[in-house]
């Protein structure tokens, strides 16, 4: 097999001296450059397979070098590295054609994992995501695992942080699962129920040092597209976009879906499971069915009133009937959240704002848009099990807290038998 060439462009001599021998030990031919112009000269002469490119360099910075490399070779693999990374820098680099963005201090395991994803060469996957499994695998009677066809980026605003943000979605190998990677910290957090909690207004995942808020719309879209393996690079919050999952669907369609060889066993509900000990007026249960379906009843003050919706969960119906339904709330509730330092990203363009008289900032997309959005959240929260579910859910007045509690109970009963509430 032909040895692959790697060019490292970084003005930090310590990076060049420490990374080069490690990559040479892995069988690569390594070239080094301490600035952008020298790196471009070496690139033209040696035509390396992979470039590790620092962003922050004096003179010609990394993004300028990236632009020139893409002029020379549009398909060239460039991995951008930075010790001062932000999500906006990462998104910009990927939009310009970088394959991925890796934060300093550099880990040889993470570098090798990114290289493996970007090349056809079979190399061991040393990343910690190797330990994150999405469930037991079986033979032909399973759902196929899926990932996206290419990396995609998206800009937006965080609903609760109010910060302009973005996210990068990257394809991942079989058995990786759905994983969030915090920028700039670099910590990876599985989108799994053990790492999740809800504070009522949103669902979030927490690692040792970082958290990612408002994951439910993204998770719902991944659920309905059947995506089981993906890396989501983001800062503190998934963008809210227009308050719905419509833009996320558009981005997934843009990336395309790749069916992988391995399968994933669904959770097939064989008995009725009803959540106990929740507030009066609320209820949620799941019972056997031939597919995943949801019956949801919502009652609220005007202008919400009584709404109900039945949804048989499949992709095309989701795109048309559920994904466009937006986050909503009463003006007084957003004022209360703002006092808590939350909800500061709420704008007239990214949610439905209500008062006692009606909707005050937009036109409804559906007459019963509120209950449809509740179904959207439920679909997303359930996918924090990272596995398809076959069963019928009947829910009344529930929110993220109850959805997560049901997901945990399903894990206890069907993934870790013997741990259920009985």
Q: Which residues are catalytic?
A: 400
- Measured between alpha carbons, how far is 420 from 410 in angstroms, rounded to an integer? 8
Give the torsion through C-alpha atoms of 390, 377, 156, 228, to 10 deg.
-20
CB 55 within 8 Å of CB 93: yes
Helix (H) or strand (E) holding 93: helix 87-95
Q: Select from 103, 50, 215, 79 the least CA-distant residue to 151.
A: 79
Helix (H) or strand (E) holding 45: helix 36-46
- Measured between alpha carbons, how far is 140 from 215 in angstroms, rounded to an integer? 31
Q: Select from 212, 214, 275 the least CA-distant residue to 248.
A: 214
Cis? peptide before 417, omega within 30° of 0: no
- Measured between alpha carbons, how far is 225 from 217 in angstroms, rounded to an integer? 13
A 10 A CB-CB count for 122 gives 8
Range list of H helices, 105-238? 108-118, 216-225
Give the torsion through C-alpha atoms of 340, 342, 343, 345, to 10 deg.
130
Residue 301 CB partners (closer than 8 Å, separation 6+): 356
Residue 113 phi/psi, 5° resolution? Answer: -65, -45
- Measured between alpha carbons, how far is 13 from 136 in angstroms, rounded to an integer? 45
CB 93 within 8 Å of CB 99: no
Residue 361 phi/psi, 5° resolution? Answer: -135, -5
DSSP state of 411: I
DSSP state of 193: G
């Amino acid at each position: 097999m032909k040895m692959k060439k790697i060019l490292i462009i970084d003005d930090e001599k310590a990076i060049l001296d420490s990374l080069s021998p490690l990559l040479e030990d892995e069988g690569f031919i390594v070239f080094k450059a301490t600035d952008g112009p020298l790196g471009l000269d070496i690139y033209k002469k040696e035509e390396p397979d992979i470039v590790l490119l620092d962003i922050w360099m004096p003179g010609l910075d990394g993004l300028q070098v990236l632009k020139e490399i893409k002029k020379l070779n549009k398909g060239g693999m460039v991995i951008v590295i930075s010790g001062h990374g932000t999500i906006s820098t990462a998104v910009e680099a990927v939009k310009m054609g970088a394959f991925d963005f890796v934060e300093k201090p550099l880990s040889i395991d993470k570098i090798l994992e990114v290289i493996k994803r970007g090349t056809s060469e079979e190399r061991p996957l040393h990343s910690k995501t190797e330990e994150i499994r999405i469930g037991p695998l079986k033979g032909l009677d399973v759902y196929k695992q899926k990932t996206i066809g290419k990396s995609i980026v998206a800009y937006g605003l965080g609903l609760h942080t109010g910060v302009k943000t973005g996210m990068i979605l990257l394809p991942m190998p079989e058995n990786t699962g759905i994983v969030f990677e915090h920028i700039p910290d670099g910590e990876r957090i599985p989108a799994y129920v053990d790492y999740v909690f809800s504070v009522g207004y949103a669902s979030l995942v927490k690692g040792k040092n970082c958290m990612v808020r408002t994951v439910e719309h993204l998770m719902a879209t991944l659920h309905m597209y059947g995506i089981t393996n993906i890396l989501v690079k983001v800062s503190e919050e998934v963008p809210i976009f227009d308050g719905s999952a419509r833009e996320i669907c558009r981005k997934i369609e843009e990336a395309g879906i790749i069916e992988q060889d391995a399968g994933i066993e669904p959770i097939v509900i064989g008995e009725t499971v009803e959540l106990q000990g929740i507030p009066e007026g609320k209820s949620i249960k799941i019972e056997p069915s031939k597919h995943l379906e949801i019956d949801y009843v919502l009652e609220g003050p005007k202008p919400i009133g009584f709404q109900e919706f039945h949804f048989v969960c499949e992709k095309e119906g989701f795109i048309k009937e559920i994904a466009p339904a937006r986050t909503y709330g009463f003006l007084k509730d957003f004022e209360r959240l703002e006092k808590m330092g939350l909800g500061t990203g709420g704008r007239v363009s990214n949610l439905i704002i209500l008062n006692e008289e009606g909707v005050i900032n937009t036109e409804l997309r559906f007459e019963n848009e509120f209950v449809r959005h509740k179904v959207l959240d439920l679909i997303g929260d359930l996918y924090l099990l990272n596995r398809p579910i076959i069963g019928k859910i009947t829910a009344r007045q529930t929110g993220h807290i109850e959805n997560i509690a049901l997901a945990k109970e399903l894990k206890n009963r069907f993934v870790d038998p013997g741990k259920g509430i009985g």
